Amino acid sequence: ELKVEQNPLFLSMQEGKNYTIYCNYSTTSDRLYWYRQDPGKSLESLFVLLSNGAVKQEGRLMASLDTKARLSTLHITAAVHDLSATYFCAVESGSRLTFGEGTQLTVNP
Protein backbone atom coordinates (compact mmCIF):
# COMPACT_ATOMS: atom_id res chain seq x y z
CA GLU A 1 0.00 0.00 0.00
CA LEU A 2 1.34 3.38 -1.01
CA LYS A 3 1.82 5.79 1.90
CA VAL A 4 2.55 9.46 1.55
CA GLU A 5 3.79 11.52 4.48
CA GLN A 6 4.24 15.25 4.65
CA ASN A 7 6.02 17.33 7.22
CA PRO A 8 5.53 19.59 8.86
CA LEU A 9 1.74 19.40 9.12
CA PHE A 10 1.55 22.96 10.43
CA LEU A 11 3.90 25.75 9.55
CA SER A 12 3.75 29.30 10.79
CA MET A 13 6.32 31.58 9.31
CA GLN A 14 7.09 35.25 8.96
CA GLU A 15 6.95 37.14 5.75
CA GLY A 16 10.28 37.23 4.00
CA LYS A 17 11.51 33.94 5.41
CA ASN A 18 12.34 30.73 3.58
CA TYR A 19 11.12 27.26 4.42
CA THR A 20 10.76 23.76 2.96
CA ILE A 21 7.91 21.27 3.09
CA TYR A 22 8.83 17.61 2.71
CA CYS A 23 6.90 14.79 1.09
CA ASN A 24 8.02 11.19 1.52
CA TYR A 25 6.38 8.24 -0.18
CA SER A 26 6.73 4.53 0.32
CA THR A 27 6.81 2.91 -3.12
CA THR A 28 7.78 3.77 -6.66
CA SER A 29 5.38 6.07 -8.43
CA ASP A 30 4.56 7.43 -11.85
CA ARG A 31 4.34 11.12 -11.01
CA LEU A 32 4.25 13.44 -8.05
CA TYR A 33 2.00 16.48 -7.75
CA TRP A 34 1.84 19.51 -5.51
CA TYR A 35 -1.50 21.22 -4.94
CA ARG A 36 -2.66 24.26 -3.06
CA GLN A 37 -6.01 24.41 -1.28
CA ASP A 38 -7.58 27.55 0.13
CA PRO A 39 -10.26 27.24 2.84
CA GLY A 40 -13.55 26.02 1.44
CA LYS A 41 -12.10 25.56 -2.02
CA SER A 42 -10.98 22.68 -4.18
CA LEU A 43 -7.44 21.96 -5.29
CA GLU A 44 -5.26 24.19 -7.43
CA SER A 45 -2.51 22.39 -9.30
CA LEU A 46 0.95 23.82 -8.67
CA PHE A 47 3.49 21.38 -10.05
CA VAL A 48 3.79 17.95 -11.60
CA LEU A 49 7.15 16.23 -11.32
CA LEU A 50 7.87 13.38 -13.66
CA SER A 51 11.39 12.15 -13.20
CA ASN A 52 14.32 11.95 -10.84
CA GLY A 53 16.00 15.29 -10.38
CA ALA A 54 13.07 17.25 -11.76
CA VAL A 55 12.88 20.80 -10.50
CA LYS A 56 10.12 23.27 -11.23
CA GLN A 57 9.70 26.85 -10.11
CA GLU A 58 6.81 29.25 -10.16
CA GLY A 59 7.19 32.56 -8.39
CA ARG A 60 8.24 31.99 -4.78
CA LEU A 61 7.64 28.24 -4.92
CA MET A 62 10.06 25.60 -6.13
CA ALA A 63 9.44 21.87 -6.17
CA SER A 64 11.95 19.06 -6.62
CA LEU A 65 11.86 15.30 -6.84
CA ASP A 66 14.35 12.64 -5.78
CA THR A 67 12.90 9.29 -6.83
CA LYS A 68 15.75 7.32 -5.32
CA ALA A 69 15.06 8.78 -1.88
CA ARG A 70 11.29 8.83 -2.60
CA LEU A 71 11.27 12.43 -1.50
CA SER A 72 9.88 15.63 -2.90
CA THR A 73 10.33 19.09 -1.48
CA LEU A 74 8.38 22.31 -1.86
CA HIS A 75 10.59 25.27 -1.08
CA ILE A 76 9.14 28.64 -0.23
CA THR A 77 11.32 31.67 -0.80
CA ALA A 78 10.68 35.03 0.86
CA ALA A 79 7.19 34.09 1.94
CA VAL A 80 4.30 36.52 1.56
CA HIS A 81 0.89 36.46 3.20
CA ASP A 82 -0.82 35.40 -0.02
CA LEU A 83 0.93 32.03 0.22
CA SER A 84 -1.10 31.13 3.32
CA ALA A 85 -3.00 27.95 2.40
CA THR A 86 -2.83 24.18 2.79
CA TYR A 87 -0.38 22.42 0.50
CA PHE A 88 -0.75 18.79 -0.49
CA CYS A 89 1.59 16.47 -2.28
CA ALA A 90 0.05 13.55 -4.12
CA VAL A 91 1.69 10.50 -5.63
CA GLU A 92 0.24 8.90 -8.72
CA SER A 93 0.31 5.20 -9.36
CA GLY A 94 -1.73 3.86 -12.25
CA SER A 95 -3.85 7.05 -12.46
CA ARG A 96 -4.79 6.78 -8.79
CA LEU A 97 -3.64 9.62 -6.56
CA THR A 98 -2.65 9.12 -2.94
CA PHE A 99 -2.45 12.35 -0.98
CA GLY A 100 -0.25 13.38 1.88
CA GLU A 101 -1.83 14.74 5.04
CA GLY A 102 -1.34 18.33 3.94
CA THR A 103 0.73 21.18 5.36
CA GLN A 104 -1.21 24.13 6.68
CA LEU A 105 0.94 27.17 6.02
CA THR A 106 0.33 30.49 7.73
CA VAL A 107 2.48 33.44 6.74
CA ASN A 108 2.43 36.21 9.31
CA PRO A 109 3.22 39.85 8.59
Partner 1 sequence: GAVVSQHPSRVICKSGTSVKIECRSLDFQATTMFWYRQFPKQSLMLMATSNEGSKATYEQGVEKDKFLINHASLTLSTLTVTSAHPEDSSFYICSAHWTEVDEQYFGPGTRLTVT
Q: From residue 12, give the alpha-carbon distance in Å to each of 8, 39, 80.
A: 10, 16, 12
* Residue 99 found at the interface with partner 1 (CB under 8 A): yes
User: What is the sign of the dihedral through the CA atoms of 17, 56, 51 and 45?
Assistant: positive
Among the residue ranges 18-26, 43-51, 55-63, 77-85, the one whose residues contact partner 1 (CB under 8 A):
43-51
Interface with partner 1 includes 45 (CB under 8 A)? Answer: yes
Judged by CB, which is closer to partner 1: 3, or 81?
3
34 binds partner 1 (CB under 8 A): no
Report if residue 97 touches partner 1, rule: CB under 8 A: yes
Whether residue 18 contacts residue 79, with contact meaning beta carbons closer than 8 Å, is answered with: yes
Q: Judged by CB, which is closer to partner 1: 80, or 102?
A: 102
Q: How far is CA 45 from CA 15, 17, 48, 49, 98, in A?
A: 23, 23, 8, 12, 15
Note the residues at the interface with partner 1 (CB under 8 A): 40-43, 45, 48, 88, 90, 95-102
